[in-house]
Amino acid sequence: MKRIYLVVLLFTGFGWSQDQAKIDSIQLLLPKQSDTVKMNSYNSIFNMLVRKQPEVAKKYLDTLLTAAHDSKNSSFIAKALRSEGVYFYYQSDYYASEKSYTKSIQLYEELNQKKPLSAVLNNLGIVQKYLGKLEAAAQTHLRSLKLKEELGLGASDIAASLVNIGVLQWELGNLELSTEYYEKAEKLCQENGLTWGLNLVRGNLAANYKNSEQYDKALKYYNMVLAHWEEQKDYPALAKNLNSVGALYFQMDSISKAKSYYIKSLELSRKYGEPQMVGLTTRNLGKVSMKEGRHELALQYFLKAQDISKKTGTMVRNVGDHLNIAEAYAALGNYKEAYRNRAVHFEKYDSIFEKEKIEQINDLEARYQSEKKEAAIALQEEEIKTLNEKAKVDQLTKGLYAGGMASALALSGLLVFGFRQRIKKNRIAREKQEEIYRNEIEHKKKELTSQTLHLVQKNTFIQELMENLQNIKNDPDRFKVEFRRIVMLLKKENASDKDWETFKTYFAEVHNDFDQKLKTLSSDISEKEIRLAAFLRMNLTTKEIAATMNVMPDSILKSKYRLKKKLGLSKDTDLTTFLNTL
C-alpha cells in the first residue's frame, strides 16, 4: 500500500524566526536577567535553533531543564518538558517525545493552564500518530481543538489542529474529510496572512490532490511550496516537499524524475539530521530500485528504512516496511523470507488499522461535531430565552399603558410556556427518533455481519494463497504439474458470484432497492461499482474491501473517487455518508 507521509504542524503558531541577530541580542541580555526571565530566554533561543542547529539547541535545553527543576516551579518545569518533547520529536525519538509531553500535560492539568495545555496536546497527537496510536491521537487532537476554541485562540493555533486532524483522517483513508480540514486551515492562513502555515497546508493539500489523481493541481501547489521553502532557506521543510514531489512523479510513472527528487531530499535530510525523513526517502528510493529491476539494491534500501523506523518508533511506517521487504525477497526468489515478512505486515497492519479502531476514531469525530451542534443549539435557545424575556417586558409596558397589565402578563406567560413546551416536545421526539435509528442500525449490522465476514475471510485466504503459488511458479521442481490446475481452480472459486449473490440477498432484505437507487442516479454504473457501494454501506475498511474484491487498497481509494464522480456528488459530499442515506 502506497503511503506518502505528510508535513504536520508541531508548534501552536506558524512562525519560525531565522534571525541570528535576535539570538545574539538575547544572549547579550542573559547575564543581566533574573532567573525567571533567563529561563524564558533559554526557551526562546532553543525554539529558534532546534530545527537547524539541534546540537546547539540541546545545550540550551539542558540548561533550561536544570534551572526549571531547581526552581521547583511547576509552570517552568512543564514548559521545559514541553521543549524536551519538541527536541526528541525533531530527533525522531517518538517514544521519548511522548514521555516528555505526557509529563508536561500532567503538570499543566494540575495548574489548570489551558492555553499551554492545548499546545502540548497538539504536539502529543502528532507523536501518537507516528507511534501508530491512532485512536489516542484522534482523542488528543480533538481535545486540543476543543480547548483552543473555548479559549478563543488565534487562527494559527486553530489551523495547526485542523491540519493535524486532516493528517490523521488521511491516515485512516478518509481522503475527502482530510481535504476538508486542510481547506479550512488554508482559508484561515490566507485570511490572517500566515505565510509559513499556508505553505505547510498547501503541501498537504498537494498530497491529497495527488492521491485523487489531480496531478496538474498537485504539481502547481508543490511548485509554490518548493519556491517558498527555498527562498526562506528552510531546508528541513524543503526536504519533505522534495520527497513529496518525488512521490508524485513516481505515481505518474516518471521514475527518473522521481529518483532525482528523492536523492535531493535524502541529501538535505541527512545534512539537517531528521532521521524519520531519511528513513522515508530511503524507503522511496527502494521502490524506485524495484521499478528499475535492481532488486538487491531495493532490499538494501528497505532494510535500512526498516532499521530507522524501528529506532524512531514510527510504527505506521514500519508496517509498510515489511511488505516492501517481502516484495524484494520474492523478486530475488527467497520465498520463505517473503512469506514471513508478508505475514508480519498483515499482523501489524491489523493491530493499527483494524476496523474497530477506525470506527472508534470516526465516532470521536462524530461526537465532536455533535457537541459543536448541541452547543450552537444551546446558544440559540439562550438567545431565544433572552428575546422572550425582552418581549415579556415589552408586553408588560404596553399593557400598563393600555390599562391591561394582567392580560399582557398572561399572554406573555402563555407564549413563553408554549414555546418551551414545543422545544421540549421536539427534543423528546428527536431523542426517540435517534433511538429508533440506533436500534435499526444495530439490527442491520447483526443480520449482515456473518455473511460479510465470510466474504472478507474467504477472499483474503484465496488472495494470499494465489500469491504464494505465483511465487513458486518459477521453480521447475515444485508443483510443476499441479500449478496450473490449482491456480485455475482458485481463480474459478475467487471469481464465483455465488457468495456475492448470497450477500446481495441478505443486503437487499435490509437495504431496500439499494442497487436500483444507484442505477437511477447513474445508468452506466457497473456491477463492480455496486459491490463497492454496498461494502461502503456496510462500513467495511479499505483493507477489507480490497481483500473481498481481490485488489490492492490503493485501487479501492481510486475506485471510490471515480464512483463519487459517477454519482455526481460534489467535492464537499462524503461518499459513505451519502450511501448511508440511500
Residues near 261 by beta carbon (within 8 Å), at least 6 away in sequence: 242, 243, 245, 246, 249
Centre a 10 Å sphere on the Cβ of residue 379 and count the other Cβ atoms it contains. Answer: 10
- Residues 140 and 118: their CA atoms lie apart, in Å, by 9
* Residuewise pLDDT in 10s, the chain (582 residues): 333 333 344 443 334 444 566 777 777 777 777 877 888 888 888 888 887 788 888 988 998 899 999 989 999 999 999 999 999 988 888 889 999 999 999 999 999 999 999 999 989 998 988 887 877 888 898 899 889 888 888 888 888 888 888 888 887 778 888 898 899 999 999 999 988 888 889 988 998 988 888 999 999 999 999 999 899 888 888 998 999 999 999 989 899 999 999 999 999 998 887 788 898 899 999 999 999 999 999 999 999 988 888 887 766 667 778 888 888 888 888 877 877 887 777 776 665 555 444 454 555 555 555 555 555 555 555 655 555 555 554 554 444 344 444 443 344 444 444 445 555 555 666 666 666 656 655 555 555 554 454 455 556 556 656 666 666 666 656 555 556 555 555 554 554 455 566 666 657 666 667 788 888 888 888 888 888 888 888 778 787 787 777 777 778 888 888 888 888 888 778 888 888 887
User: Which residue type does 563 have?
Assistant: L
Q: Can you give the pLDDT at residue 29?
A: 74
Q: Can you give the pLDDT at residue 18?
A: 47
Q: Can you give the pLDDT at residue 515?
A: 80
Domains and CATH numbers, the chain: 1-209 (1.25.40.10), 234-353 (1.25.40.10)
What is the Cα gyration radius of the chain?
29
User: Which residue type does 229 have?
Assistant: W
Q: Can you give the pLDDT at residue 484?
A: 57
Q: Can you give the pLDDT at residue 62?
A: 92
- Contact criterion met (CB below 8 Å) for 164 and 11: no
Q: Is 283 exposed, middle or buried (0-12, 13-18, 19+ CB in 10 A)?
A: buried
Q: Can you give the pLDDT at residue 107?
A: 94
- Residues 180 and 571: their CA atoms lie apart, in Å, by 9
Q: What is the pTM of this model?
A: 0.46
Structural element, H or E, at residue 301? helix 295-312
Instruction: From residue 469, give the alpha-carbon distance in Å to each of 6, 47, 92, 253, 549.
Output: 36, 55, 40, 28, 19
Residue with grid cell 501518537, as numbered in its chain: 128
Q: What's the distance, CA 463 to chain centroid?
A: 28
- Residues 116 and 342: their CA atoms lie apart, in Å, by 43
Q: Residue 356, CB half-sphere, CA atoms under 13 Å: how many?
A: 2
C-alpha cell at 320: 509498510
Q: Can you give the pLDDT at residue 139?
A: 86
- Contact criterion met (CB below 8 Å) for 129 and 166: no
- Contact criterion met (CB below 8 Å) for 170 and 28: no
Residues near 58 by beta carbon (within 8 Å), at least 6 away in sequence: 87
